[in-house]
Structure 1
Amino acid sequence: MTAPRPFPLPLGLAAAVAAGVAVPAQGRINGALGARLGDGVAAALTSFGTGLVVLAFLAAVLPAGRAGVRGIGPAVRSREIPWWYLGAGLCGALFVVAQAVTVGVLGIAVFTIAAVTGQTMSGLLVDRVGFAQGRQRPLTGMRVFATVLTLASVAYAVAPKFGAAQDLATLTALVVLPFAAGFAQSFQSAMNGASAVAYSSLLAATLMNFVSGIVGLTVAWAVKVAVAGPGGPLPADFPGDWWYYTGGPLGVVFIAVATVLVRRLGVLLTGLGMIAGQLLGSLALDAFAPAPGTVVALPTVVGTVATLVAMVLATLPWNRRMIRSR
């Protein structure tokens, strides 16, 4: 694999934060669609489907997209990447299924903490072993401190949203799923980054991510229908407002930016930047387009600012030798 081109760190972090802002917006849109359809998994499948349509159109009309798609087979046959990297989108499918299954029981606060904990822990691991990145990134004390600060900041930011009457046993059992979904995100980003290099095409890597993701969601939806039956009838005004179907394109932006950045910033820094963006996006939504009953609390603001500080600290390359030299 060829080494990625140099990328200015401040620009990369700004891009990660901007992409992270798309996540709560996508969640709000998919949640509204799920409420309209009466089926959260069907809403997730619809979101992935609209994203896939956008990517398939771009891949068909852009010469670089067509070339990238043609490069998928040779890259796998030559073992430039393992064949199972084609299934990276299953990690994204796991995340949206976890949202659909657990948010209603756990609440968005517990879900966020569990998912972010898994994502930051796996970010450290993926960078340390160099999974799918072509090089290892050192596990410095500053990175560990920034990770701990991020987890504490997110917990503090979402503290006002905790419900008072949670069944502890149910919460403990269900929290494993969003933790696993968050843990898988770092591996998804790393695999997508390696695939983009192997195909010489960001578009082809993102397209394959959505293909495998929609396969996984189709299976999940089929299992749900077999176990619990289909959801209620479609609303009379289906398909409804156009913005219900913008969640997929937002997911395209999020995954594409992560795919580019993990090869340049590493999985941990990319993840921390996107977590900061998620909190900023959530704060903006609560302030300017609040859901019923939503208020902006001081811990949310303080936790968001502390997360941004943690992201900056994680970029510092200091180690003991450098500190002594100073």
Structure 2
Amino acid sequence: MDLTRRATALGCAAAAVGGVALAVQSRVNGELGRALGDGVAAALVSFLGGLLILAAAVVATASGRAAAGRFRVAVRGGRLRVWQCLGGAAGASFVAAQGTTAAGLGIAVFTVATVAGQVVSSLFVDRAGFGPGEPRRITAPRAVGAGLTVVAVLVSVSDRFGSPGELWPALLPALAGAALSWAQAANGLVRHESGSVVLATLVNFSVGACALVLVGVVDVALRGLPNPPPGQWHLYTGGALGVVALSTSVYAVRAIGVLVLGLCAVAGQLVGAVLLDVSAGGIAAGTVAGVALTLVAAGVAAVPGGRARVRG
């Protein structure tokens, strides 16, 4: 196996592992949001937990401190613009969506809605060449795959069409997924300049935590304090799961691009999501069909033509 194929295979495997972590994080943060009665508070707890883990890793290692120095030089020298470091704000919106809607929608529906927004958005992010890799054309397989994914969302929530009040929350994870594709590209740029997956992940978590603190202040002013913290320890593992999910995407995005990154993560997300929903008491037939169609869409978009690069 040559180096390019090996890098691609490793990137796809990392993205799949990150997808599994993301599905489990959705369940954890959704339950925490329900227990606290506040999705924003649950998101903030998750981000602060991940931030502590990453800050300790950077401060405690020589490679982490060196990466922080390279990051400062890149920002001061203009190679990395400040707005290119704000991927954490999009990540914060995704985690907030987890805490607000995941428990009510079910993890599988939440995941498919997120994937739809992420895949469609990633077509344009890849085409613009925003991330650290080269631009990639919007070819027929990539466009068809993205379109099938949108259809999959409609199928997965078809059992809710009779109740619009239950359907609209699926829009929030779809929008958060769209923002997440841009964030993955931005985090890849930070990793490229700093030379460190951990540092890039720390920057993301720092920005996201700051955004959530500001939103949390407004949330408390409008709604009051959340419920007392629950006693179940596993509800506080969202931060660690987020570190796994984000660091794998930061590692993989340069080798495989934003769209293929999202598609490889789909397999992990959906397998984990379906198993979680089944263990919680069952899953609707429409959701199973939507999951299956999403996997087909991922395969269509990932055919060789979907990796075509823009030249000139």
TM range (shorter): 0.7 to 0.9
Q: Name the SS of the counterpart of 1:186 in structure 2.
A: helix
Q: 1:14-68, CA deviations, whole angstroms, 9 ceiling, x for partnerless residues?
A: 3222211112211111122223323221111111111011111111222211111
For 2:137, the equivalent position in structure 1 comes to 138
For 2:258, the equivalent position in structure 1 comes to 267
For residues 14 and 198 of structure 2, the distance between their equivalents in structure 1, rounded to whole angstroms, comes to 17
For residues 63 and 45 of structure 2, the distance between their equivalents in structure 1, rounded to whole angstroms, comes to 27
For 1:210, the equivalent position in structure 2 comes to 205
1:7–1:264 CA contact under 8 A, matched in 2: no
**Correspondent of 2:165 among 161, 164, 167:** 167
2:116 counterpart of 1:117: yes
Name the stretch that deviates more: 181-190 or 205-214. Answer: 181-190
For residues 276 and 297 of structure 1, the distance between their equivalents in structure 2, rounded to whole angstroms, comes to 19
Structure 1 residues 296 and 284: alpha-carbon distance in aligned structure 2, compared to 1, 3 A threshold: same
2:183 counterpart of 1:185: no
For 1:223, the equivalent position in structure 2 comes to 218
For 1:323, the equivalent position in structure 2 comes to none
Structure 1 residues 79 and 181: alpha-carbon distance in aligned structure 2, compared to 1, 3 A threshold: same
2:296 counterpart of 1:309: yes
For residues 154 and 176 of structure 1, the distance between their equivalents in structure 2, rounded to whole angstroms, comes to 10
Q: Name the SS of the counterpart of 1:73 in structure 2.
A: helix
- Shift, 1:305, TM fit: 3.5
* Structure 1 residue identity aligned to 2:74: A
Structure 1 residues 243 and 110: alpha-carbon distance in aligned structure 2, compared to 1, 3 A threshold: closer
- Shift, 1:242, TM fit: 2.3
- Shift, 1:163, TM fit: 6.8
For residues 243 and 101 of structure 1, the distance between their equivalents in structure 2, rounded to whole angstroms, comes to 18
Q: Name the SS of the counterpart of 1:223 in structure 2.
A: helix
For normalisation by structure 1, the TM-score amounts to 0.83
Structure 1 residues 111 and 315: alpha-carbon distance in aligned structure 2, compared to 1, 3 A threshold: closer
Q: Name the SS of the counterpart of 2:4 in structure 1.
A: coil
- Shift, 1:299, TM fit: 4.1
For 2:242, the equivalent position in structure 1 comes to 251
Structure 1 residues 35 and 303: alpha-carbon distance in aligned structure 2, compared to 1, 3 A threshold: closer
RMSD over aligned Cα atoms = 2.6
* Structure 2 residue identity aligned to 1:207: L
For residues 44 and 94 of structure 1, the distance between their equivalents in structure 2, rounded to whole angstroms, comes to 9
1:109–1:158 CA contact under 8 A, matched in 2: no
For residues 272 and 221 of structure 1, the distance between their equivalents in structure 2, rounded to whole angstroms, comes to 32
1:117–1:182 CA contact under 8 A, matched in 2: yes
Looking at secondary structure, tell me which structure has more helix per residue: 2
For normalisation by structure 2, the TM-score amounts to 0.87
- Shift, 1:104, TM fit: 7.2
Structure 1 residues 201 and 276: alpha-carbon distance in aligned structure 2, compared to 1, 3 A threshold: same
Structure 1 residues 15 and 269: alpha-carbon distance in aligned structure 2, compared to 1, 3 A threshold: same
Q: 1:232-267, CA deviations, whole angstroms, 9 ceiling, x for partnerless residues?
A: 3x25xx5x2321211111101111111121111110
After superposition, where does 1:40-79 map in structure 2 within 5 Å? 40-79=39-78
For 1:86, the equivalent position in structure 2 comes to 85
Unaligned runs of at least 5 residues, structure 2? 307-312
Instruction: Tell which structure's C-alpha radius of gyration is larger.
Output: 1
Name the stretch that deviates more: 270-279 or 88-97. Answer: 270-279
- Shift, 1:102, TM fit: 4.9
For 1:150, the equivalent position in structure 2 comes to 149
Identity %: 42
- Shift, 1:103, TM fit: 5.4
For residues 125 and 276 of structure 1, the distance between their equivalents in structure 2, rounded to whole angstroms, comes to 22
Q: 1:213-239, CA deviations, whole angstroms, 9 ceiling, x for partnerless residues?
A: 00000011100011121123x25xx5x
* Structure 1 residue identity aligned to 2:300: L
- Shift, 1:159, TM fit: 3.9
* Structure 2 residue identity aligned to 1:224: D
For 1:6, the equivalent position in structure 2 comes to 4
* Structure 1 residue identity aligned to 2:54: L
For residues 29 and 167 of structure 1, the distance between their equivalents in structure 2, rounded to whole angstroms, comes to 24
Structure 1 residues 64 and 7: alpha-carbon distance in aligned structure 2, compared to 1, 3 A threshold: farther
Q: Name the SS of the counterpart of 1:167 in structure 2.
A: helix
User: Which runs of at least 4 in structure 1 moved beyond 6 Å after TM superposition?
Assistant: 104-110
2:109–2:287 CA contact under 8 A, matched in 1: no
